[in-house]
Amino acid sequence: MKAKKFLAIVGICIAGSAALTSCVEKNYYVNPNNNYYNHNDSGLTYVFDEEFNGQDYYGWTFTNVTDSAYASIQNGSYQYVDYSATQSNMTVVNTGANVSGNFTVQTRIESNHIMGLIIGASSTSNGYAFYIDTAGNYSLYQEGLDTAASTVLIPSTADSTAVKDGYNILEVDQANGTWTGYINGTQVFQRTAPTLSGASFGFKILPGTVGYADYIVVKSTQ
């Protein structure tokens, strides 16, 4: 169910640039108990819901002394630490979602540097990463595999309206062949959906990052 990978840093830029899309506020309802954005997601009957409460059922927890990295579930969140100066770190689990049709993924994360949501990873692909950083930027990458470099799809883009200090809610919706990305309910990008090779979702942190995830929820068609 799990995959842990230690990757050479691929030069994620944290300098701001002109926004690629104007910010569009999405209609949403906030569940005050779980900080979810609930949308018009009719037909998405399959749900993978990891709240990081209690036992680690999927294998998120690990320790790698050589890479100075570890992760654990504690106090209702997933703590992810990478003290390495050169190695990025990625952990994903197979959610069982149908990524060939419509789906939505949402997570709530916080870090002291750069942390991303991994989408659609498999044994042959590291999927896609939707990053945010503490300078108020976001970006989207097609992740490389092992020694292969990542590909920039959306360069580091400053958006202080969407990206807040502390925890941020990241969401990507795939509907009718289109990806729409949101930060805290505000639309920040829209683009043609890629073909995904797997249903593994999770997180990636860059060197020198301590990050936290409150939950990750994936909904899809059956």
Domain containing residue 147: CATH number: 2.60.120.560
Instruction: Report the C-alpha gap between 118 and 176 in whole angstroms.
Output: 21
| Domain of residue 82, residue span | 2-7+16-220
Closest among 21, 15, 9 to 133, alpha carbons compared: 15
Instruction: Report the C-alpha gap between 183 and 19 in whole angstroms.
Output: 14
Instruction: Report the C-alpha gap between 41 and 88 in whole angstroms.
Output: 33
Which amino acid is located at 189 in the chain?
F
What is the number of structural domains in the chain?
A: 1
Which amino acid is located at 204 in the chain?
K
Tell me what pLDDT residue 8 has: 41
Tell me what pLDDT residue 57 has: 92
Q: Which residues, given as ranges, of the chain have pLDDT below 50? A: 1, 6-22, 24-33, 40
E strands along 75-185, which residues? 77-82, 87-94, 103-111, 114-121, 128-133, 137-142, 151-158, 168-175, 178-183
Tell me what pLDDT residue 87 has: 87
Tokens of 210: 């301590």
Instruction: Report the C-alpha gap between 88 and 124 in whole angstroms.
Output: 18
Residues listed for the chain: 222
The model's pTM is: 0.86
Closest among 35, 200, 59 to 129, alpha carbons compared: 200
Residue 116 φ then ψ, to 5°: -135, 160
Which positions ≥6 away from 130 have C-beta within 8 Å?
116, 117, 119, 138, 139, 140, 170, 172, 181
Tokens of 58: 């999927």
